[in-house]
Amino acid sequence: MTLACPAPHHEDGVVLLGHGAGGRLTAELLDTLVLPALEGPGGPLEDAAPLPGHPDLVISTDSFVVSPLFFPGGDIGSLAVHGTVNDLAMRGARPVALSVALIVEEGLPLARLRAVAESLGKAARDARVPVVTGDTKVVGRGAVDKIFINTTGVGQRRPGLRPSAAHARPGDAVLLSGPLGLHGITVLSSREGLGFDSDIRSDSRPLHHLVAALAPLGEHVHTLRDPTRGGLAAALNEIARDARVAIGIDESDIPVPGTVAAACDLLGLDPLTVANEGCLVAFVAPTAAEDALAALRSLPEGRDAARIGEVLPHGPAGRVVLRTLVGARRVVDMPLGELLPRIC
C-alpha cells in the first residue's frame, strides 16, 4: 500500500489522520518530530513509564476522542478508565490513582455530560482506582467535537513482574486473552449506523485482574501488551521491533468472532488491524505457557484465551509472520494508518 503523502519531516507537510492511528505513520511522526523535540527517554516506547526516583511506580497517559460517545458495551467515560488502567497493567502494575481532564464543547447537553461522568466514575470504582484530581475546560462550539477526555494513571508494579516489549525471547509462547476486533467493529458500526448485528458489543474492560492472575509466574512473563489502535498487527510488530525477534502466529488459533469476520470481509478490513480494548497478548517462557493459559482462563475475561503462536528461533528481527488456514505464510505488516479513526 502506498500513500501519496508528505513524510512528517517535510516542513511543508501537514498532519494526517493516519498520524494518530498507531501505525507506521504514527511511529514516523513520533520518531522524527515529537520525541526529538521532547528529548524523551530512549529505548522502547512502552504503555507506561517508570517514575524517576520511584521505580516501583509507573505512569501512563491517554486521550480519548471516540465517536460516538456511547456505543454498545461502553462509552467514552468507561473507555477512558479502562484504557489507562490497561496501559498500567501492561507494565505489571495495579492502578493507584487516576487524573481526569475533560474538554467539553459549549452546548453539550448537561445530561450527556452527566452520563459520561457517571460512567467514568462507575468504571473507576469497579476497577478500584480513585480519581484523585481533575480539570474541566469548556471551549466554544466547533472547537472540540462534544467531549474529549484525558486520563493519566499512576500504578504500583507487582513485585517480580517486569514485563517489557523488549523482553520477548525466541521460544516464547504468544498468548491472546480473548477474541479480536469487537471494539473497533462495534464503534464503527455505531458511528456509521451499519448495524452489523444487534448483539455485537465492545470488549472494553479492565485487564489488571488478568495481569494479577499471571503475577505468580513472575519473570516468566516477558511481555504484555493490549492491542488497541492498530490492533494485534501493530502490537506484535512493536514487540518484534523492540525485542529484535521474529514472531509467528497461526490464523487457525486466533479467535475472531463470526460477526467481526463478516464485517471485516464486507469492509475490506483485516481483523488483525482492528482495535481492541479488552484483551491482551502475553509473551511467556515456553515452560510457563500452560500455567499462564490456565491463569488467564481462570477469569471470565480470559475464558477464551488461546495460544496463537511463538517467537521464532530464527528469522529476521522485527518480522511478524502469519501461517494462514491454507498453509501459506504471509508477512503481517505494521498498519500504515488506521482505517478507523477515533476508535478510542
Per CB under 8 A, contacts with its own copies among 145-164 are 145, 148, 150, 152, 154, 156
Question: Shortest gap between Cβ of 188 and its own copies (angstroms)?
Answer: 15
State the virtual CA torsion across 247, 250, 251, 256 in degrees, nearest 10.
Answer: -90
Nearest to 269 by CA among 318, 232, 323, 308: 232
The DSSP output letter for 334 is P
Q: Does 301 bind its own copies (CB under 8 A)?
A: no
Question: Shortest gap between Cβ of 165 and its own copies (angstroms)?
Answer: 14
Applying CB under 8 A, the span of 35-43, 203-211, 286-294, 320-328 interacting with its own copies comes to: 35-43
Q: Decide whether 321 or 344 has the Cβ nearer to its own copies.
A: 344
Cα–Cα distance for residue pair 158/217, rounded to 1 Å: 11
Instruction: Tell me which of 39, 193, 195, 268 binds its own copies, using CB under 8 A.
Output: 39
- Report CA-CA distances (Å) from 250 to 292, 320, 341: 19, 11, 28
Instruction: Tell me which of 69, 85, 113, 210 binds its own copies, using CB under 8 A.
Output: 113
Q: Does 306 bind its own copies (CB under 8 A)?
A: no
Q: Does 331 bind its own copies (CB under 8 A)?
A: no
Q: Decide whether 27 or 213 has the Cβ nearer to its own copies.
A: 27
Q: Does 105 bind its own copies (CB under 8 A)?
A: yes
Rounded to 5 degrees, φ, ψ at 44 are -65, 145
Q: Does 184 bind its own copies (CB under 8 A)?
A: no
Instruction: Tell me which of 1, 4, 111, 326 binds its own copies, using CB under 8 A.
Output: 111
Q: Does 100 bind its own copies (CB under 8 A)?
A: yes
Question: Shortest gap between Cβ of 166 and its own copies (angstroms)?
Answer: 16
Cα–Cα distance for residue pair 159/221, rounded to 1 Å: 12
Applying CB under 8 A, the span of 60-68, 170-178, 194-202, 326-334 interacting with its own copies comes to: 60-68
Q: Does 68 bind its own copies (CB under 8 A)?
A: no
Neighbours of 328 (CB within 10 A): 9
Cα–Cα distance for residue pair 249/69, rounded to 1 Å: 34
Instruction: Tell me which of 118, 219, 265, 290 binds its own copies, using CB under 8 A.
Output: 118
Question: Shortest gap between Cβ of 53 and its own copies (angstroms)?
Answer: 6
User: Would you call 97 helix, strand, or coil by DSSP?
Assistant: strand
User: Contact at 8 Å (CB) between 309 and 174?
Assistant: yes
User: Contact at 8 Å (CB) between 221 and 292?
Assistant: yes
Q: Decide whether 30 or 285 has the Cβ nearer to its own copies.
A: 30
Instruction: Tell me which of 3, 125, 160, 303 binds its own copies, using CB under 8 A.
Output: 125
Strand 281-284, strand 306-311: pairing: unpaired
Site for its own copies in 2-21 (CB under 8 A): 6, 8, 10-21
Q: Decide whether 17 or 317 has the Cβ nearer to its own copies.
A: 17
Cα–Cα distance for residue pair 109/100, rounded to 1 Å: 20
Q: Decide whether 116 or 312 has the Cβ nearer to its own copies.
A: 116
Q: Does 135 bind its own copies (CB under 8 A)?
A: yes
- How does DSSP assign 261-306, residue by residue? HHHHHHHT--GGGS--SS--EEEE-GGGHHHHHHHHHTSGGGTT-E
Q: Does 199 bind its own copies (CB under 8 A)?
A: no
Cα–Cα distance for residue pair 287/14, rounded to 1 Å: 49
Q: Does 312 bind its own copies (CB under 8 A)?
A: no
